[in-house]
Amino acid sequence: MLAGVLFALAAGLMWGLIFVGPLLVPNYPGALQSAGRYVAFGLIALPLAWHDRHRLRKLLPADWREALKLSLVGNLLYYTFLASAIQRTGAPVSTMIIGTLPVVMAIAANLCYGHLEGRLAWRRLIPALLAIGAGLVCVNIAELRGQSGDWDALRYLSGIGLAVLAVACWTWYPLRNARWLRSHPQHKPGTWATAQGIVTLPLALIMYALVCAQLAWQQPTFALPFGPQPQRFLPLMLVIGLLCSWLGTLCWNAASQRLPTVFMGPLIVFETLSGLLWTFTWRQSWPPLLTLAGILCLIIGVLWAMRIKPEPVITAVER
């Protein structure tokens, strides 16, 4: 249990960096950042795949199809939505919306896997949901106060919508990924992370080409293929591809094999808190009091959810 929590903490610290990346290259569309990140992830996975080729050969065609689904939804679509949301709302708001994942994942795990690992009592989840909702309201108010006079309401609301879509993607991904790992204990977490990198590479290359074609048509002044700041964009994609995509996924997979699925939701809060930490470090400022109050509400809500013990489902036979 302790090793699983430590692996989840390490994954959260690395995943928190993805909330700062879009702020470092604000002129790059979210889809281009997502494609670039996962092209880097796929290239990093190639030598790892050669080293791990004997274990990769043991994966069945159904396993590769599962890796393809996980990579498309949990990698490319998730980061496209998230990067675009951050550019529209600012990192703290998007980070806090992603911060609802612990309870959203707990609810999804309840609905999808509660019959296998025990259910969480719905009545006990309500206080956690209210606390997290209050935290989101506080952070949104704090960020809106800091907006300049040319604030675009439509752009801001579209950013919130994109962040919600990112939550949907990352609710599905870790639960499905955890169930696969727990049902295939013979495969190492590192092998599964590398397999996802391999199937991500062709998807990311296709997506990068399509985004470049769209930019060439809609924004002919945008420098292609690496944008107006290649000296910043390329190293950033490599760092995020290595730390956030491969190493972070490896640590999360290791945690997923050691902990029950219903516990993985609350532990995703490490990503949210790390994202806020890196964001305000980049801003070189302390969070406003209202933002700190929102963070406190988030932590209280997640800790409340973590205290709820799964209740075993009693079947008719057992009765």
Contacts for 254 with CB less than 8 Å, ≥ 6 apart: 3, 4, 7, 189
Name the one residue in this structure whose structure tokens are 């995943």: 15
Closest CA to 71 of 113, 42, 48: 42
Percent of the chain at pLDDT > 70 equals: 86
pLDDT at 121: 67
Taking only the tens place, the pLDDT of each residue in 22-75 is 888 888 988 898 899 899 989 988 998 999 999 999 999 999 999 999 999 988
Taking only the tens place, the pLDDT of each residue in 69-96 is 999 998 889 888 988 888 888 777 777 7
- Cβ–Cβ under 8 Å, residues 174 and 267: no
pLDDT at 63: 94
pLDDT at 261: 66
pTM of the predicted model as reported, rounded to 2 decimal places: 0.76
| pLDDT band at 317; cut points 50, 70, 90 | very low
b vs e for 253-275, b when ≥16 Cβ sit within 10 Å of the residue's Cβ?
bbbbbbbbbbbbbbbbbbbbbbb
Tell whether the model's pLDDT for residue 122 goes beyond 50.
Answer: yes
Q: Which residue has the higher pLDDT, 175 or 120?
A: 175
